[in-house]
Amino acid sequence: MLCLNSISAQSILGRWKTIDDETGKEKSIVEIYEDNGKIYGKIIKLINPKQKNPLCDKCEGDNKDKPIIGMVIIDGLEKDDDIYDGGNITNPSNGKVYKCRLKIGDNEDTLQVRGYVAFFYKTQYWKRVSE
């Protein structure tokens, strides 16, 4: 028998609370969605924003001086077994863009988010937001 709850729980799609890997503080809510077979994520809410509608003044290119709320920060990942990679993630705090890998953690309500520069990487663990 097929259990739909276990399938949806394993999906990375949905809303996730971002947790800063250095401070351990909650920063934002990111909605991860699929479009044309690729995975994207946009910031839909900031937790305790210092400014009401902050802009990404440190970003470059298309995101330069754009509102952080609504910004697509996960761009173009593809599923490869139980990992999603092949795209990028933007850190609006410093404007830097990293290669990205996403994977559901041991606990299906945890998302492992890893950003890479060459051989170096940082990992954050985001928490699923119940809908």
Is 89 inside any structural domain? yes
Q: What local confidence, expressed as pLDDT, does residue 131 receive?
A: 63
CA-CA distances (angstroms) from residue 131 to 7, 16, 45, 50, 98? Answer: 16, 10, 14, 26, 29
**Number of domains the chain contains:** 1
> Does any domain span residue 6?
no
Q: What does pTM read for this prediction?
A: 0.87
Give domain status of residue 5, yes or no. Answer: no
Residue 18: inside a domain: yes
Q: Which one, of 71, 75, 27, lies nearest residue 49 by Cα?
A: 27
- Rounded to 5 degrees, what are φ and ψ at 64? -55, 125
Any domain includes 81: yes
- For every one of its 131 residues, what pLDDT tens digit does the chain have, with 9 covering 90 and above? 333 333 344 789 999 999 887 888 899 999 999 999 999 999 999 998 777 889 999 999 999 999 999 999 999 999 998 999 999 999 998 999 999 999 998 888 999 999 998 889 899 999 999 86
- Residue 41 domain boundaries: 12-128
Domain with residue 74: its CATH number is: 2.40.128.520
Q: Is residue 4 in some structural domain? A: no
CA-wise closest residue to 18 among 85, 78, 91, 79: 91
Kindly state whether residue 118 falls inside one of the protein's structural domains: yes
pLDDT, residue 16, reads 97
